[in-house]
Structure 1
Amino acid sequence: MKQNHSSSLIHWQVLVASLVLIIGLFSLQASAQETAAADPEGAKDFIAQLSDDAVKVWADPTKTEAERQAAFRQLLHEGFDVDFISKLVLGRYMRTASDAQLQEYQKLFPDFIVNSFAGRIGDYGNEKLVVDGTTEAGPRDIFVRSKIVRPGGEPLSADWRLRKKDDKFQIVDIKVEGISMAITQRDEFSSLIQREGFDRLLETLRKGANAASASEAG
């Protein structure tokens, strides 16, 4: 009986130790997920630095227009979580596309989306961006609220949704005047696939990627 009691005690000790370890791992995971939302100053600094770098690119007199566009796209490549956005905008079609279609999509998407975002916000790249503050966006993300100040017009609101990846901030969406660029892109992709099929989407991505290459070459 004493041996059975001792064996049971050891069993419970191992079980309790395992539970403590599991709880500890969950706590560490939760802490990691909260890091982005818990670092508002770092998030604001990230967007402010990105804005400063963009202004320098557009104002550089030594670069041609094509070189400025290429440099601006490179900034976006570095600042955006392109892999996450690619999955977000494709939505449910991630599960219905063939392996070959997905491989080509993932190859073409980075140049397409960066070129698309560059075209949408590039017009404001040489304007002044003023960071207003931050708002938590769920347990992982944070919104950096800002205004694009234009000398000849009303300020535009631009909200940058950030997430931390490998301990670095990355942009996963932008809302300009309350309109999500990622969601808008997802709606466009979904509509195109429904009307004309996935291969038509790939053709559109190829044209977008080729346009970016032609612009840089020009």
Structure 2
Amino acid sequence: MKTYSYRFLLSAFAVSGLLLSGNITSLSPFYAPAALAQSSYNDGQLRQWLQNTGNRMVSIVNSNLSKKEQKAKFLTILNNDVDVDTIAKFCLGRFWRVATPEQQKQYVQLFHQVLINSITSRLGEYKGVSFEIGKISTIENGRKSIETILHRPKQPDISIQWILSTESGSPKVVDIIGENASLSVTQRGDYTSFIARHGNSVDALITALKKQIANHS
């Protein structure tokens, strides 16, 4: 299976801006129709939500916790602040519609595991990170884009935009934009290309995810 390079995963969920290299899994938004209304969170509340969430992530990155403890804490954040099931569905693209219910269930479960493994695999290497929040703006479907500047020890600062949705009733991160590129769109292309190269087989992706998990140290 091809290994893809992605530069946003830890930036998004650890607020560290660190460059990680992983396999085929990353984050993607599942854009709801414009008719779905966003909940009534004002800009100040969303900024505070991101500040609090970011502080929790940074505290994990900068802690002396074991990998197991860090993984457990990140899993809580992931489950609370990211709609991973919807993300997984979007990542499968057109192949979600042809997957059987059992394939869908198995794929989503594997997606959760690969995602948390990828986030926590190298956290211990990157202590000393910090961040600051910049401007907030409204984008399509009433979603919000919040800029952050990520400070990394002995490395240049980088700018990351967090795309937030409140369609579920509470804020959720649904996309990350770095270097003027939506990383979600790129990842969806990676998934669908992988499946297409393997005879349009969703099982091929499931097998690859299982192998990735088995190889995770």
For normalisation by structure 1, the TM-score amounts to 0.71
| Contact 1:148–1:157 (Cα < 8 Å) also in 2 | yes
Question: Offset of 1:64 from its aligned partner?
Answer: 1.4
* Counterparts of 2:118 and 2:60, CA distance in 1: 18
* Counterparts of 1:137 and 1:57, CA distance in 2: 30
1:188 is aligned to 190
Task: Choose from 51, 54, 57 the match for 2:57.
Answer: 54
* Counterparts of 1:159 and 1:87, CA distance in 2: 22
1:85 is aligned to 87
Which of the two has greater helix per residue?
1
| More relative contact order, 1 or 2 (CA 8 Å, 6+ apart) | 2
Task: Choose from 37, 46, 58 the match for 1:33.
Answer: 37
| Contact 1:157–1:178 (Cα < 8 Å) also in 2 | no
Question: Offset of 1:99 from its aligned partner?
Answer: 2.8
Question: What is the DSSP-based 3-state SS (H/G/I as helix, E as strand, rest coil) of the residue aligned with 1:204?
Answer: helix
| Contact 1:35–1:140 (Cα < 8 Å) also in 2 | no
Deviations 1:61-100 (A, max 9, x none): 3x21342234224322321111221121111111122233
Q: Percent identity?
A: 25
* Counterparts of 1:146 and 1:70, CA distance in 2: 25
Gapped runs of 5+ residues in structure 1? Answer: 1-28
Deviations 1:20-64 (A, max 9, x none): xxxxxxxxx97x71436x621122111111111112212333x21
The one-letter code sitting in structure 2 at the alignment partner of 1:205 is: L
Deviations 1:103-138 (A, max 9, x none): 211222222234345569997675111110112121
1:153 is aligned to 155
Question: What is the DSSP-based 3-state SS (H/G/I as helix, E as strand, rest coil) of the residue aligned with 2:171?
Answer: strand
1:169 is aligned to 171
* Counterparts of 1:81 and 1:123, CA distance in 2: 27
Question: Offset of 1:177 from its aligned partner?
Answer: 2.6
Number of aligned residue pairs: give it.
182
Structure 1 174/114 Cα, relative in aligned 2: closer, same or farther at 3 Å?
Answer: farther
- State the superposition RMSD in angstroms: 2.8
2:6 is aligned to none
Question: Offset of 1:192 from its aligned partner?
Answer: 1.0
Deviations 1:157-198 (A, max 9, x none): 111111114431111111233333322321221111011132
Q: Which piece of structure 1 moves more, 160-169 or 189-198?
A: 160-169
Question: Offset of 1:153 from its aligned partner?
Answer: 2.1
Gapped runs of 5+ residues in structure 2? Answer: 1-33
* Counterparts of 1:166 and 1:186, CA distance in 2: 22
Task: Choose from 68, 71, 75 the match for 2:70.
Answer: 68
1:141 is aligned to 143
The one-letter code sitting in structure 2 at the alignment partner of 1:102 is: Q
For normalisation by structure 2, the TM-score amounts to 0.71
Does the alignment pair 1:204 with 2:208?
A: yes
Structure 1 79/67 Cα, relative in aligned 2: closer, same or farther at 3 Å?
Answer: same
2:22 is aligned to none
1:14 is aligned to none
